[in-house]
Structure 1
Amino acid sequence: MPTLPSEPHRARNMAESFGADPERYDRTRPSYPDAAVAAIVAAAPGPDVVDVGAGTGIAARLFQAAGCRVLGVEVDPRMAAWARRRGVEVEVAAFEDWDPAGRVFDAVVAGQTWHWVDPVAGAAKAARVLRPGGVLAVFWNVARPPADLAAAFAEVYRRVLPDSPLTRPAGGPSPFTTAAVDGIRRSGAFGEPGEQRFDWERTYTRDEWVDQAPTSGAHALIPPERADEVLTGIGAAVDAVGGSFVMAYTTVVVTAVRSR
């Protein structure tokens, strides 16, 4: 059983696994707090936004609601088609290969997706499509289930797939933010990156948590013949704590302003 690669952007089978069920993805994945979106919008010099790895448009719709004009760039045509049905303009391409056709923007954003982009090439591409003073803002949700439930989830994955990355403790420092900051610095095109954190919570029932679990990239590593066993196990873990729980989330936002 392979673990998550040290360079996720090279794991194309995982990066392009989410489109297998875009309806489930859009319905079950966590959103982002309004305060995080507002902070990014306030930092940008204008309303024109490119959403990298737009997926089904979860983040794009939040930026639209905040008054932005959003163009999504999404590698998976299945996800792009779903986003278009929800009112998001999307062009199908990997961001590193995407042709902006001379267009420039005020912000390049990426919600829960920048780790699928080469961190140096992606930052350099972002700089090329940003106006002077434009903002690159990449963000992730870090989930922290209750400690007893986190241990129970890890034990389910450990029992079924001992080498799964899902056996690791939840809620620790994200290697994605570290890689993003390093890539931004190495691109030489931005000022010093900054970081903001926004805490929020969501209550999940057993069925809601089991429904969203397969949308995780790490679940793409689970052999199909073991998937039901994993979902049964995590469902039983939620049942054991009363059938629902409160997930603590921190949305971590890394921003940098184009300097040249």
Structure 2
Amino acid sequence: MSNGSRLLNIEIDGQIQRDIIDASFGSIAIVQELCKTFVEISGVSETQDSPLVLANPDYLKAAIEQKVSDYQARHLRALEAIAGGLVTKRPKEGKFPLILPYYTVRVIIESSLQDLLNGIGRLDLHDRIRRIHHRPPAEVRTGDITNLLNTFAYLQKERRIAPPLFDYDQGARSLKVIDSTLYFYLANVDKESLIEEIPNPLDTWEHDEGAGNNPSPFNLPLQTARRTVSQIVVKQRVEIVLENQWLDKLFTNIK
């Protein structure tokens, strides 16, 4: 920071410097990008004639928001790819596949920053997936989670995520984030909105025979049920509008 500040004849406030370092999770690249964006938003694009102190925290907030937006496309694509898994299996005998990669991505997004920094333990991941899974807890077995984690590197490779975002430490039995820009992204993004952006594989599959085009929302996971209800309501409204238009034409002809 000091070299760049000296060349531009500026001084970045000490608290702003500490906040930039804290927000960067040890990544020199993020520090440099945040500094550059902060200086630009502060209105500095060339060497100043007289010394200038930059100390507006709102400009740093705007710089962080800008960098989150810059990382959005890459990380959203990667998380979507991982959530989609390797093979799309159709429901068998009324049961949907486990789709563990999708639930793993959800757990990662919902995790606290400290959990991500420490790594998510296998047992913790198993427990948290069971809580939100569409199948009964007993059907999400320990072996399923172990197999998922042992093939996580392969999954990322096959989905062309390079460099990879995650690594499973078999010794510590924990899933760790290994891309500092993902720490930064998840620490500052709206997590609820991000989860909504990740397609749920359940939404793409048809339901039990006899359920028709409008399956009962009561048999679906909450996120899927909300979308199903919305689709039904919109369809019914369209049908009512079309019926009213037809009646208007009918009575006009009679007159």
Instruction: Answer whether TM exceeds 0.5 for this pair.
Output: no
Q: Which has the higher contact order (CA 8 A, sep 6+)?
A: 1
TM-score, structure 1 length as denominator?
0.24
Q: Which is higher, the Rg of structure 1 or of structure 2?
A: 2
Between structures 1 and 2, the one with greater strand share: 1
Q: Which has the higher helix share?
A: 2
